[in-house]
Amino acid sequence: MKKIAVLFSLFALPILAYLFFSSGVNNFAKLPVLTENISELSEFATLDGKPITLTNKITVLGFFGKNVDALEGNAFNLTEKIYDKNHEFVDFQFIFLADTSQKIAVKKLLDELATTTNIKNWKVGFGTEKAIEAVFNSLQTTQTLDDYYTTPFVYIIDKERKLRGRIDDEDVADGKLYGYDTRSVAILSNKMADDVRVILAEYRLALKKYNKNKSE
């Protein structure tokens, strides 16, 4: 019996462990959906007048509103902790929504960011206060915009315009983490970085399965 137990621990347990973890990789829990049908950005355009969209993109969405300067430091933290590590993923983008009065401040910020990173997928859409508020309200979160239509929180939106986040976060009363506070480097480095990795892995796996099925 002792020999059988030793043989089991030497051979069977490692195999079982491998099967368990490999199964976990292929069937990992997706980042939960908190809100569906987020408003499209049809009423916004970039500095050079180009349209922006959420559809078919994985988006980190933020709100500059009428006070870009107040969130400048947050933007740099977010860029360093999240954007720089993921911007080469083809369908990944940053979008911040700003009032049309903020074009000079936005250009200054983008020029500064461009000195340290490739801002090809770092976009700002300009629109009215009403348009900014409408998009924010469609998120249906527990946060609010301030009097300048800004918030320090940013949100992960998937390709189907669904808000992704957490439903069992230990630091939130009801467990639902709708957005990520850009004032906290710890939240960006830990929670948000992990969640972005999960959703990008989800789409990488989906693309891998699609390509495999297509080639069969």
pLDDT for res 18: 38
pLDDT for res 215: 53
Q: CA angle, corner 83, sides to 74 and 98, nearest 5?
A: 50
Distances (CA, A) of 210 to 203, 204, 205: 10, 10, 9
Domain 33-215, CATH: 3.40.30.10
The secondary structure of the chain in percent helix, strand, coil, rounded to multiples of 5, reads: 45, 20, 35
* Residue 5 and residue 21 in contact, taking contact as beta carbons nearer than 8 Å: no
pLDDT for res 1: 53
pLDDT for res 204: 84
Low-confidence residues in the chain, pLDDT < 70: 1-29, 206-216
* Residue 200 and residue 192 in contact, taking contact as beta carbons nearer than 8 Å: no
Q: What residue spans define the domains of the chain? A: 33-215
- Which pTM does this prediction carry? 0.84
pLDDT for res 81: 96
pLDDT for res 207: 65
pLDDT for res 20: 38
